[in-house]
Structure 1
Amino acid sequence: MATNFRPSPTFKFLALLLTIFQCTTTTLAQAPVPAPSGPTNITKILEKAGQFTTLIRLMKVTQLGDQINTQLNNSNQGMTVFAPTDNAFSSLKPGTLNSLSDQQKVSLLQFHVVPNYLTNSQLQTVSNPLRTQAGDTASDKFPLNVTTSGNQVNVSTGVVDTTVSNSIYTDGSLAVYQLDKVLLPMSMFGPASPAPAPEPEKKKKSGAQDDVPATDDGSVSADASGAVVFGSYLHGLSVGAVAIVTMLCL
């Protein structure tokens, strides 16, 4: 004969406690582990993202990576970094980086750093030319212009046009955006300055020898000067001969 089991209030209470304990344990196990605290480090961020070996090496050689970290951890202004991939650097003309001086390498990297934090939406409304850490935004120096097409952000230097292909990192203080081309500034990679205009032709010297051709420095040429002297000599001989004949006839 079946017996109806009726749990006592104590049993119900214990069962409820067990259920709550199991749920709490499961929730705690699924919670994400908090990231380790510490100062922002641009090179570590790029290393974690991968495909930025060349950029990291240049940042270490020029010490720009340390400068960025110092500014980020001692200022509330924030920073934006445009990060070209390894493929972007590989697409440069062979020997491009080796042809640059140490100072030019610093300027090239500074041209990829904006000294304030810009979200993707803010990039679509910035005023051009955008000022970078390279400094002068004049058209023949370090101009950086940002335009948009829908949600696509385009970056132009006057030498290179490229697109922001990905947002690598953002934390409210630092924003890192991936580029598929290296930003080449006008002052270093723009067209060569035009050759100076030729000087106007110098005028001949005025005087008795106006009809005698002159050299570039205005002096009479040796051939023309000799011709003038020889002509004068013949004229003197003719006058002397006429005088002698006249005397004999008298």
Structure 2
Amino acid sequence: MRHLLLAAALLVLLPLAVSAADGGKAVAKAPAAPPAPPNITASMAKGGCKAFAALVAASPDALSTFQSAADGGVTAFCPTDDAMRSFMPTYKNLTADGKASLLLFHAVPVYYSLRSLKSNNGVMNTLATDGSAKNFNFTVQNEGDKVTIKTDANEGVARIKDTVYDKDPIAIYALDTVLEPVELFDPVEAPAPAPAPVADAPKASKSKKASRRHVADAPGPAGDDAPPADEKKSSKKNAAAGGAPRSRWLAAVPVAVAVAVAAALV
């Protein structure tokens, strides 16, 4: 019985002794800290978008906006190095504000998995959107099994080539083309409609063609053997003039004969 009482006393007094040794403070385990969000630019660089990631890191406004958006959810679209290589001359001609706006134009402040992008087509605001003064919107749409992005400054579309990172609240997708906002670049003009075909002139009927073929030719000039009109007139006058004395002579012959006979009788 005495042993049982001693054991019970030890069980009660031992924790008190340990607590006193620690200064009377109870030791409690701290809650595990949530994992830090991934570095967006580092993830872009690993996914084949080194050039774009370097531009974001070099722009204080763009970098701070990307990092702030990562806490609440963000979906970034980074052009591949091949796409950026051909676009760099155009990028260098932009102002500092224009460069920051173009970089922020490649992200939306909402987390979208690839599946949700396919079911949420339409116009989306970007990190560059600032009220109605700066819309900086683009249109997400499907092209078969591919997700594409269309802007009014591009005739074609940008296509998602690969998923760089996808874990809520951050998603990063690689694009094959740089997105050009209409706020920085001239809009694409709609092609002019093709001119209407000109109707062919009606063809002449066979009967009309035949009549044209059988129209009599106009009289041509007289042949070389035919005498001129003046000669014809003069010949008629001469004939008339020559015929008059001959007729008078023939009429006088009987008179002369009669006179001669009468003289002989006398």
TM-score w.r.t. structure 1 length? 0.55
1:202-221 mapped onto 2 (5 Å cutoff): none
Displacement after TM superposition at 1:46 (Å): 1.8
Query: Which residue of the other structure, out of 33, 45, 48, is the alignment partner of 1:47?
Result: 45
Letter in 2 for 1:53: K
Whether 1:61 and 2:58 are equivalent positions in the alignment is yes
Displacement after TM superposition at 1:178 (Å): 0.5
Q: Which has the higher helix share?
A: 2
Does the CA contact (< 8 Å) of 2:75 and 2:170 recur in 1? yes
Cα gap change, 1:70 to 1:125, in 2 (>3 Å): same
Query: Which residue of the other structure, out of 91, 94, 97, is the alignment partner of 1:100?
Result: 94
Partner of 2:167: 171
Partner of 2:118: 124
For 1:173 and 1:39, locate their aligned partners in 2 and report how far apart those are by CA, in whole Å: 8
Q: CA RMSD in A?
A: 2.6
Partner of 1:144: 138
1:24-43 mapped onto 2 (5 Å cutoff): 37-43=35-41
Aligned residue-pair number: 152
The structure with the largest alpha-carbon Rg is 2
Cα gap change, 1:118 to 1:137, in 2 (>3 Å): farther
Q: Secondary structure at the match of 1:186?
A: coil
For 1:124 and 1:106, locate their aligned partners in 2 and report how far apart those are by CA, in whole Å: 28
Displacement after TM superposition at 1:71 (Å): 3.1
Does the CA contact (< 8 Å) of 1:129 and 1:137 recur in 2? no
Cα gap change, 1:114 to 1:145, in 2 (>3 Å): same
Displacement after TM superposition at 1:147 (Å): 0.9
Q: Secondary structure at the match of 2:123?
A: coil
Structure 1, residues 203-244: CA drift from partner, whole Å, max 9, x if none? xxxxxxxxxxxxxxxxxxxxxxxxxxxxxxxxxxxxxxxxxx
Cα gap change, 1:42 to 1:102, in 2 (>3 Å): same
Does the CA contact (< 8 Å) of 1:79 and 1:173 recur in 2? yes
1:220-235 mapped onto 2 (5 Å cutoff): none
Query: Which residue of the other structure, out of 68, 71, 88, is the alignment partner of 1:70?
Result: 68
Partner of 2:15: none
Displacement after TM superposition at 1:52 (Å): 1.8
Cα gap change, 1:149 to 1:71, in 2 (>3 Å): closer
Displacement after TM superposition at 1:142 (Å): 2.2
Provide runs of 4+ in structure 1 moved above 3 Å. none
Cα gap change, 1:71 to 1:191, in 2 (>3 Å): closer
Structure 1, residues 29-76: CA drift from partner, whole Å, max 9, x if none? xxxxxxxx5332101212322x32221121112122343223323x3x
Query: Which residue of the other structure, out of 108, 126, 130, is the alignment partner of 1:114?
Result: 108
Q: Which runs of 5+ in 2 are unaligned?
A: 1-34, 190-266
Deviates further, 172-181 or 151-160: 151-160
Q: Secondary structure at the match of 1:96?
A: helix
